[in-house]
A and B are shown apart, each in its own frame.
Chain A
Amino acid sequence: MSILVDKNTRVICQGITGKVGEFHTKGCKEYGTQMVGGVTPGKGGETVQGLPVFDTVIEAVERTGANATMIFVPPAFTADAILEALDAGIEVIIAITEGVPVLDMVHVYEKVRASKSVLVGPNCPGVITPGQCKIGIMPGYIHTPGSVGIMSRSGTLTYEAVWQTTNLGLGQSTCVGLGGDPIVGTSYIDLFRRYEADPQTESIMMIGEIGGSAEEEAAAFVKKHVTKPVAAFIAGRTAPPGKRMGHAGAIISGGKGTATEKVAALRDAGIEVADSPADMGQAMQRAIARKRS
């Protein structure tokens, strides 16, 4: 078991004829993901990386049986691409694109929430169930099948956590990059629910950052509903207020969204918090050991 994606997931790439879309379609295919096709309006009938290209997502779904999509279209068209995937009934929609205008996401978010589909991202590295299915831009080889569910708002910091859990022999069940934007399709809480219900996931790691209140909300949820060991790290303890730290969402505004507040909320929920980004894997081990005792 795993969450969201596994070896049976059939994946298309929206934006497959672009340089980046093609590059990562190749990478996912090489990892062993069942890539079944791609979509670029106006390029239907072409073949990319041995895969058929369609003009519309609905056609791709009808012809290939795809149930997941990886979106690489430019930011101005990302909202439309997500809505198209939703309309075609794709169950897992993963939007990698960085730089989507946030107001575009208000309407998309409402639609996604009212549907049975799941949207991950935008501005995220993607989702991987090690050894089975990689949808996104993460380097596959740092992952190893195992028991930790890892979720994060940041890409390379997730790799760091993955690498540490791999080196400690824990491995990962499924890793999800939520995305660094102010509005993203999937929250920590959505994933806590899934990880808690997933038999392969024995422990959960949550990697957060300054800005917003998603970590505090997640902490409150964990306190009430999560029985598995949980570890966390918050990036940006030294970030000054009012300055955007790369991600559109990573900004301390009006004295809210500081790392100190978040860490306090997490600890209050009984979550093992790593003080250093080098300590994420060991924090997970401590959380597991504490739960056993």
Chain B
Amino acid sequence: MKIHEFQAKRIFRDNGVAVLENRVASTPQEAADAFHQLGGSFAVVKAQIHAGGRGKGTIVGNPAQRGVQLVRSADEAAAVAQALLGNKLVTIQTGPAGQTVNRVLVEAGCDIGRELYLGAVLDRAAAMPVLMVSSEGGVEIEKVAEESPEKIFKEHFHPQIGLHSFQVRKLCQKLGIKGDSVRSAERFMKTLCSVFTKYDASLVEINPLVVTKAGQLVALDAKMTFDDNALFRHKDVQEFRDLAEEEPAEVRASNAGLSYVKLEGNIGCLVNGAGLAMSTMDIIKLHGGQPANFLDVGGGANAQQVTEAFRILLSDANVKGVLVNIFGGIMRCTTIAQALLEAYRTVGFNVPLVVRLEGTEVEQGRKLLAESGVNIITAEGLTDAAKKVVAAVAAAG
């Protein structure tokens, strides 16, 4: 799960990770008030959307307006908020349609000495979380990793033990952090690692992390994502979920216990199992088609869930054909067949439907479909299924 910058900063502040004074505003007036309250000679207005790259992102229909802007008066804060709020911001991560800005963060300015990068993630190969720092702050870290990996320094930390002091000293040496700043860095980095563990984060990223002219470390940006599997023990984090930032069909699917990801193509897929669902997308593409989605109904889905899955697929206007690919294990082919017929009765199929069934109760499942009289194209095996759905979509124009 993703959260907004202002929410991540709230977590930071509550746990003692240094952030600047800030206010959240959802109207230009609130932005102006925030500027006054902060009381500085300048402030920064930042669009709050889940995607990264906001500083370089631009507003649809107003390419001069960036997602992050320095302001020097309350009037200017209000004007920038006006230009951002309710409009769509396009960044390298949003796709061309952009994401609507519903809030801005108005934040106090600071005297920047240096900009660094800091991130904590799980290192899968080491089966341990790792803290990564780089002297190349404020730029895309993927680019740094690609072009100059020697500028990224890493220290693993055990979730129950945390980061050791000597590890901070090693990192400070690499980053050229000296004197009193080392003490600030120790507090900052150790606390950040404990926040990672405490909230079951899958990513904590601060880019840039600033060393002020006074030598203090401050998180100028904040990004946190969380392990969905651990949300059950973090009610406070669950409340940060912003459904407006998520694809409506994906929200609907997750409410039904389905795993769904919307894609750009026109062939809807309904599959059991994540690996098989990915492979089904792959084989469609291999035969010249474009998958409209990833949809895993899971191992133990019941008829209602599968019916809901059909509804979600068919409500996507881009979908010109559907491929159902089931290898029944726990999932019985009869369950799928019944759900399919139920979906036909309740929503109707206005696009061609190709069904490939294999595994548990396959004969009964096929029989149910054959006897129903519903117009279904049946397929034997993966290749046959993919070819048939691609052909059917092409024929439908």
Contact = CB atoms under 8 A, between A and B. Distances in A.
Contacts of B299: 137, 155-156
B279 to A, nearest CB: 4
Interface residues of A, number: 62
Nearest to B52: A242
Interface string A251-293: 0001100010000000000000001111000000000000000
B229 A248 contact: yes
A103 B279 contact: no
Nearest to A236: B278
A138 B275 CA distance: 14
A213 to B, nearest CB: 6
A231 to B, nearest CB: 15
B142 interface: yes
A235 B281 CA distance: 9
B347 interface: no
Interface stretch (B102-110, B121-129, B310-318): B121-129
B229 A235 contact: no
Contacts of A156: 271-273, 275-276, 299, 327, 329
A103 B200 contact: yes
A226 interface: no
Interface stretch (A33-41, A57-65, A80-88, A105-113): A105-113
A101 interface: yes
B285 interface: yes
B291 interface: yes
Interface string A154-183: 111111100100000000000000001011
B123 to A, nearest CB: 10
Contacts of B232: 75-76
B274 to A, nearest CB: 3
Given A107-B159, A238-B285, A245-B261, A212 B328 contact: no
Contacts of B345: none
A48 interface: no
| Most chain B beta-carbon contacts within 10 A, residue among A125, A212, A254 | A254
Given A276-B383, A277-B382, A212 B273 contact: no
Interface string A118-140: 00000001000000000001110
Majority-rule SS of B interface residues: mixed
- Considering residues A20, A103, A104, A155, which has the most beta carbons from chain B within 10 angstroms of its beta carbon? A103
A276 B273 contact: no
B122 A160 contact: no
A20 B300 CA distance: 10
Interface string B376-397: 0000011100000000000000
B129 A106 contact: yes
Given A156-B272, A235-B275, A275 B229 contact: no
A249 B285 CA distance: 22
Interface of A: 20, 75-76, 99-107, 109-110, 125, 137-139, 142, 152-160, 163, 180, 182-183, 207, 209-210, 212-214, 217, 233, 235-240, 242-250, 254-255, 259, 275-278
18 contacts: A76-B233, A103-B159, A139-B329, A152-B275, A154-B278, A156-B271, A156-B329, A157-B279, A183-B122, A209-B278, A213-B124, A235-B276, A236-B278, A239-B281, A240-B261, A242-B93, A248-B229, A250-B278
